[in-house]
């Protein structure tokens, strides 16, 4: 889809939309990270330090998964 532009302005390509799989992975990753961090805060307020740290650490794989899928999506679009 192209929009009307002046001839003087440099032409920029519109970014491609995210694939449905990438959108689902982002949603699941954000939910997983938020649950892990929220539950970790709840446990930390109860002074259960070890379970709180485990809960905080459980957010890391969701972040790594999201970054991995975004990197793969960028490689495919290039």
Kindly state whether residue 42 falls inside one of the protein's structural domains. yes
pLDDT class of 15 with cuts at 50, 70, 90: low
Kindly state whether residue 60 falls inside one of the protein's structural domains. yes
Sequence-distant (≥ 6) Cβ neighbours of residue 34 within 8 angstroms: none
- What total number of domains does the chain contain? 1
Cα gap 77→3, rounded to integer Å: 21
Kindly state whether residue 7 falls inside one of the protein's structural domains. no
Kindly state whether residue 64 falls inside one of the protein's structural domains. yes
Q: Provide the token pair at 21.
A: 């799989």
Q: What is the mean pLDDT of residues 4-27?
A: 74
* 0.85 exceeded by pTM: no
Q: What is the mean pLDDT of residues 34-58?
A: 97
Per the structure, the complete domain to which residue 39 belongs is given by 34-73
Residue 11: per-residue pLDDT: 59
18 or 62, higher pLDDT: 62
Cα gap 31→6, rounded to integer Å: 43
Kindly state whether residue 65 falls inside one of the protein's structural domains. yes
Kindly state whether residue 27 falls inside one of the protein's structural domains. no
Does residue 12 register a pLDDT over 80? Answer: no
Residue 6: per-residue pLDDT: 56
Kindly state whether residue 78 falls inside one of the protein's structural domains. no
């Amino acid at each position: 889809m192209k929009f009307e532009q002046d001839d003087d302005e440099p032409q920029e390509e519109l970014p491609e939309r995210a694939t449905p799989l990438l959108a689902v992975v982002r949603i699941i990753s954000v939910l997983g990270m938020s649950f892990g961090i929220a539950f970790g805060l709840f446990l930390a307020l109860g002074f259960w330090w070890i379970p709180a740290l485990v809960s905080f650490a459980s957010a890391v794989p969701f972040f790594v998964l999201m970054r991995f899928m975004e990197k793969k999506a960028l490689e495919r679009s290039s």
